[in-house]
Structure 1
């Protein structure tokens, strides 16, 4: 009995995954629940276990390829079986992995081989495709909801596959340079040819006879850096982002932190920072303004009843955002301990899928870099992200007098498609009040 290993769905918003490593080679024996391959997504690498036991008969998708969820990646066959080899990208069953268990769970045991996804097509289209030997998965459908019709199959058979998908800018460069499009490999989504692909192809055509004495350091644009670039570009392209700022008098927050420090000075395990207090205040404010604790998935706005705060952590190779789950239920000391555990796991590359997925709101603190404020970029599909600047002593009017106070700048970027300016600013106002008077957090 053959079993297909497919690209799993490792998070609510995951659409594609990149194969970063195969743990087995074709012809190797593999046991169910044994590590089979690694998927790079959401800025971490996840080990995926084999859905069955047998021989790794075929690796369909090689290392470095990015494919949609549900794509058949490999075929596992029983010893002595010789199933028909799969050519090209084919859709299979979408398996949703249980992130609560660190994606170590495999699909439920099966009593029959997985059935491949049925292509939406007319009976006559399927008959003609069978007669002509045409793979229906490759035929673009022109019917309602993309249904493949008989005419689509005939056209595909006579004219061959449609030209490769290409971005407008890349197409213009190809036209100007007179390039052969069929020789350019696309690295975009579903093999789409991008400007970078065309420029890389042009670079390979340049005459290299002349010696080049310059020294250029090449850094591969991949891994965390590539994931950050893709996410930030998509965020700015797909959301109506607006940022509002406010300066907050956090003198009482500073005193509150000093009071906790004095109370637990003999306990080395208790270390509370300004950021911990801000996290707690933000979680409480989000519960009062639930629209800010929402995500936009497809055509639906999901308002969450639990706060999963993303905490931006800067690493040498890029930025990663682990999640503090159920922050609204945690005490200040619990938040302080768990944040440090997440930061340690991030530095040690020990974060699990659950640690980096399904956040509802993000906080990015640049106070340690001595920055007053900035305009943060949304972390899709979340509705808001809070930017936190440094705490500074400066002259301020307090109780009618000019005195030295501790001041801090907060910046809130929100998706204007989901929430209007007034509700977003009311959230920021209430958060500022919590930081101005920390005892209100307990109310």
Structure 2
């Protein structure tokens, strides 16, 4: 009997999973434990392993199609094996009289042409991906012809309709040269699903539902960088970890948040929730999008432990092994674009947090120190905060305290 390949449930809050990519096609040999597809859900990307040895007999869910967890997305079995899909129609047929079952071929023949007729405007059978493509292209659903099972409109049906429409468009003679150039242009339409869909909705909701303002400052981290190098001689030997500039910024941020708790807050249900603990979110950039794993109770861990936790969570994020519980509950976040040479930027709040710190690239700059011009290392800082929770002055005071810790790093030990 064919083995069902199910959409896994990745996290308690998962409501829908998407097949990002099928690594195998129908007829390909697969081994138990071999990766056969990539699955995405909200902010989690994961590999799906084959549950058994055999051949991929059928792909039941197309790429970029979203389905609830537990849905059968494919079947694995022997090459000659028949797939038995239990449906209400099948159960009814089995219970019918032999005479009724003998009439099935004629009924099936009569129904076959219906798969090639335009869909009804009242009840359109169409896959979620096909619906999105059709709506984006402005195609009326009732004008589409479905070639899928029972007349279901597939992604391929919509793509064909778009191509046919473009072919029928006429070009005026004076636009021949322009058309020749346009004919060389290609546009790739990518469905918004999985991680990208969640990021898009959360960021739009963040901008729509909060009063965001960004202030900036530069911190002189010349002494901090020198201090980091000296500290690493000890931390590598005694704590088996190497401190990064991000680790030190995170520690300074936690200390500053403890002194300015109004920044470590959230606006929820017409109330300001001010937190005594610091669950620090550290943004990690992945190929599929941005994730923000959370270091819980960052205020209670030492600098070496904070460094280890940040590195461990970043590694899990890149390996795709983060759970939803490890990306929820942050009270303040840090996002760092310094590796890309960016200086100041405007980070968007990670709801429902009241603050997020953007870190830019360190710039070596000539600075007046008394009457002398010296080379100093300046770090750009961008603080976005929710103006519903705090005003510009307390936000500036937080940034001032943070700069103090970064410019006089010995304060972190006091």
Going from structure 1 to structure 2, the CA distance change for 1:409 and 1:39 (only over 3 Å counts) comes to closer
Which of 186, 190, 201 is matched with 1:230 structurally? 201
Distance 2:286 2:191 in 1: 17
Structure number having the greater helix percentage: 2
The aligned counterpart of 2:139 is 202
Number of aligned residue pairs: 293
**Greater mean deviation of Cα atoms: 347-356 or 265-274:** 265-274
**Structure 2 gap segments, 5+ residues each:** 1-8, 20-38, 49-63, 72-87, 89-120, 141-157, 169-182
Do the aligned residues in 1 keep the contact of 2:44 with 2:324 (CA within 8 Å)?
no
Q: Which residue of 2 aligns with 1:260?
A: 231
3-state DSSP class of the match of 1:380? Answer: coil
Q: How far 1:208 sits from its partner (Å)?
A: 0.4
Work out whether 1:432 is the aligned partner of 2:403. Answer: yes
User: Residues 300, 184 of structure 1: CA spacing in aligned structure 2 closer, same or farther, 3 A cutoff?
Assistant: farther
For the residues of structure 2 that align with 1:431 and 1:388, how far apart are their CA atoms?
12
- The 1:417/1:183 distance shift into structure 2, 3 A limit, reads farther
Q: Following TM superposition, by how much is the alpha carbon of 1:331 offset from its aligned partner in structure 2, in angstroms?
A: 1.1
CA shift at 1:206, angstroms? 4.8
SS class of match (1:412):
strand
Q: How far apart, in 1, do the equivalents of 2:139 and 2:268 lie?
A: 38
Q: Deviations over 1:39-92 (max 9, x none)?
A: 934546799xxxxxxxxxxxxxxx96689xxxxx9xxxxxxxxxx9xxxxxxxx
1:248 to 219, 222, 241: 219
Distance 1:248 1:312, change over 3 A: same
Is the 8 Å Cα contact of residues 184 and 201 (structure 1) preserved in structure 2? no
1:357 aligns with 2:331: no
Distance 2:185 2:345 in 1: 37
More displaced 10-residue stretch of structure 1: 266-275 or 422-431 = 266-275
In structure 1, C-alpha distance between the alignment counterparts of 2:349 and 2:310, rounded to whole Å: 21
Query: What is the distance in 1 between the residues matched to 2:272 and 2:283?
Result: 24
SS at match of 2:330: coil
Change (3 A) 1:420 1:184: farther
| Residue 244 (structure 2) pairs with residue 273 (structure 1) | yes
Residues 349-378 of structure 1, C-alpha deviation per residue, up to 9 Å, x if partnerless?
110122100110010011111211211111
Give the Cα separation in 1 of the matches to 2:246 and 2:198: 26
Q: Give the deviation of 1:301 after TM superposition.
A: 2.3
Q: Partners of 2:281 and 2:138 in 1: how far apart?
A: 39
**Secondary structure in structure 2 of the residue aligned to 1:426:** helix
Question: Which residue number in structure 2 is paired with residue 325 of structure 1?
Answer: 296
Alignment of 1:42-191 (within 5 A): 42-43=43-44
CA–CA separation in structure 2 for the residues paired with 1:235 and 1:259: 41
Partner Cα distance (1:181, 1:197) in 2:
16
C-alpha separation in 2, matches of 1:207 and 1:404: 60
Task: Determine if the alignment matches structure 1 residue 40 to structure 2 residue 65.
Answer: no
The 8 Å contact of residues 245 and 412 in structure 1, kept in 2 or not, is answered as: yes
TM-score computed with the length of structure 2 as normaliser: 0.61
The answer to whether the 8 A contact 1:18-1:64 is kept is no
Which whole-Å deviations, capped at 9, do the CAs of 1:233-256 have from their partners, x for residues lacking one?
A: 111111111000001111121121
| Cα deviation digits, residues 288-312 of structure 1 (max 9, x gap) | 1111111223333221221111111
Whole-angstrom distance in 2 between the partners of 1:304 and 1:20: 35
- SS of the residue corresponding to residue 302 of structure 1 reads strand
The runs of 5 or more residues in structure 1 that have no matched partner are 1-7, 22-37, 48-62, 68-72, 74-83, 85-179, 188-192
Larger CA Rg, structure 1 vs 2: 2
CA contact (8 A) 1:293 1:383 kept: yes
